[in-house]
Amino acid sequence: MLGAIVSGTIADRVGRRCAMAISDVFCILGYLLIVFSKNSVWLDLGRLSIGCGIGLLSYVVPVYISEITPKNLRGRFAAVNQLMICCGASLAYALGTCITWRTLAIVGVTPCLLQLVGLLVIPESPRWLAKIGHSGALEEALQKLRGKETDISEEAADIKDFTEKLQHLPQSKMLDLFQKDYIHAVTVGVGLMVLQQFGGVNAICFYASEIFVSAGFSSGNTGMLAMVAVQIPMTALGVLLLDKAGRRPLLMVSAAGTCLGCLLVGLSFLSKEHHWAKDLNVALALTGILIFSGSFSLGMGGIPWVIMSEIFPIHMKGSAGSLVTLVSWLGSWIVSYAFNFLLLWSSYGTFFMFASICGLTVVFVERLVPETKGRTLEEIQASMNSSLAPVSSGINRAA
């Protein structure tokens, strides 16, 4: 949450690349504190540092990807980011069953170092360069991204025109997000993050091993490995479908699947409480968590971050991105903290509550979330903001 609060400001002040580098430094420092920890204070400081880094990284990476990719590939590239997150988390889950936590922390340093090196050779976001008035650097970065033989003049002109239009608007503050012009985008961005977190994803991910044991498994490791095995192919399927099927259909299918998964897990605990067949408990728990994990990986895991990076104009992106990212991690903390207390209150009732929220997500997406597939960022933002509407006609002609 601390990283989220400052994520938009840092990314706007120093650029997307430098913000990612700052995040890597925080994560490396945190992992080293864990590796060499002498007591619990070191562990707490290490986790705090990693949390700040991830809070910053979780905002700036989707934004950077959305700002550098062409409209026909933007969703797929953003989904690949989620696939890589899924692969990394799955690898961590798998390694965690066979190596110590200190060794796992050493492993965690590796991707941070790799990204720091990679940041030296990737271009800065052309849209951020346009925002700070570096037209020459904008065209150089865009040419590098699109290829030497590609004519970028039209795309560069669209970015410059839209950015110039935004320069005439007042500098944004957090409270400005709740003005009439931006309330739809804020409702979509914040709403998706709230529904994503309160649908129970982190409760299931963080406590999956305990859930399997509570449902009747002798050990949580088998179920954990099965969950990992489902997540990666389903995330990969989402990558393939995102720019073909669109954001809205995938979100609704994904939310419906997570609803079914939570219902099955809830039935598993209900079965256990009423002393029905033990095999039924285990089967329902395993099937429910696998359906939930697979469905979440298909859409609800990554698409809210994709949409968040698309719907806010660049002069509002810093404050809006900070708000949305903060809401996401705040929701994660609330659910993770409350989950054990909820289980003591009612184990099956907890998952039925999660299922209801997942069902509500389907309705929310159908009613409020716009389809952004195949549209430039400027077109999307102009369609959701009446003060930018005059720009959209010129962009549509150019497209």
Distance separating the N- and C-terminal Cα atoms of the chain: 38
For residue 29, pLDDT over 70 is answered with: yes
- Band of pLDDT at residue 391, cut at 50, 70 and 90: very low
The residue that leads in pLDDT, 72 or 217, is 72
Q: Which residue has the tokens 């099937």?
A: 287
Task: pLDDT band for 356, please (50, 70, 90 cuts).
Answer: very high
The CATH architecture of the domain made up of 176-387 is Up-down Bundle (1.20)
- Give me the residue spans of the domains in the chain: 176-387
pLDDT at 172: 62
Q: What is the pTM of this model?
A: 0.80
Contact 125, 141 (CB under 8 A): yes
pLDDT bracket for residue 393 (50, 70, 90):
very low
Mean pLDDT on 367-372: 92
**Residue 170 pLDDT:** 62
* pLDDT tens per residue, range 54-105: 999 999 999 999 899 988 888 888 888 888 888 888 888 788 878 999 999 9
pLDDT of residue 144: 93
| Range name among 33-37, 89-93, 386-390 with the lowest pLDDT average | 386-390
105-164 tens-digit pLDDT = 999 999 999 999 999 999 999 999 998 889 889 999 999 999 988 899 988 998 888 887
pLDDT of residue 242: 86
pLDDT for the residue numbered 399: 39
